[in-house]
Amino acid sequence: MTLTLLDIYNSVASQAWSMFDDEVDTEAEFENVLISCINKALSDLWCSTDFPFRRKTEELLLMEGEQGYPLPDGNLVERNIDGKKGYSVSINGEYLEYTDKIPHLSYDKGLPKYFRIDNQNIYFYPVPDKFYEVNAEYYTLAVGTDETGKTLYSLKNDTDVIDIPEKLEELFKNALITKTMLYAIASEHDENYSSYKKQFETAYKLLLKYTTGIAPERKVVF
């Protein structure tokens, strides 16, 4: 099973609800608004916490004399390194030290030991004196892929797939559907709104509980 936009759309459209009052006049307009609600809910849910399935590793290929490289498409994974706050950025299994200032050895050449982040780029110090392979672990912002395998940050086509392990699809789907309903219902005062809010809170807690590495009691406020 794969979780597609069409799966989510059909599930949401079949829910019991009163939607948009008289604001939607055509089927095309209904579809556009509903897909927008799905993507808003997906973005909220996806970024609500550091789900393990969001954790990815990107290989950065450092070239001689090249100091700056684009960051991966998310937040670097934090970790404790020798009692200090650090990040999962390593060369040959050795973690590099993060610095928020340009170090004194910024013009030296050799094996990088430090890195800093500036304007969505990552800079290495000393400047690489040859080819190096850096492994950077991060929590991706990309929510899925299309039919060609292209990375997506929102869903547009029926066949677009959410990138989530199969064993968690049903739990994620339940949370996503109920979160979508909170956007889709016209008013918080609608009789169905509070019901879907409770359903979402239950579905979200279950998703956290059965997602490895996430404490079930952890509270996330939207």
Q: Going residue by residue through the chain, which has 222 residues, state the pLDDT in tens, using 9 for 90 and above.
A: 689 999 999 999 888 764 544 455 566 777 888 999 999 999 999 999 999 999 999 999 999 999 999 999 999 999 887 778 889 999 999 999 998 887 777 778 999 999 999 888 999 999 999 999 999 999 999 999 999 999 999 999 999 999 999 999 999 999 999 999 999 886 777 778 889 999 999 999 999 999 865 444 444 443
The residues that bridge with 130 in the sheet, in sequence order, are none
SS3 for 63? coil
187 in Cβ contact with 197 (< 8 Å): no
Report the C-alpha gap between 14 and 25 in whole angstroms: 18
Name the burial class of residue 9, with classes exposed (0-12), middle (13-18) and buried (19+) by CB atoms within 10 angstroms of its CB: middle
Amino acid symbol at 131: F
- CA angle (54, 174, 146) in 5-degree steps: 50
Report the C-alpha gap between 156 and 36 in whole angstroms: 9
Amino acid symbol at 37: C
SS3 for 1? coil
Helices 27-46, 5-13: crossing angle, 10 deg rounding: 110
SS3 for 92? coil
- Going from the C-alpha of 13 to that of each of 30, 66, 181, 189, 206, the distances in angstroms are 10, 51, 9, 20, 23
51 in Cβ contact with 211 (< 8 Å): yes
SS3 for 67? coil
For 132-183, give the DSSP string. Answer: EEEEEEEEE---EE-TT--EESS--STT-EE---GGGHHHHHHHHHHHHHHH
Report the C-alpha gap between 159 and 220 in whole angstroms: 30
Q: Which helix (H) or strand (E) holds 127?
A: strand 127-128
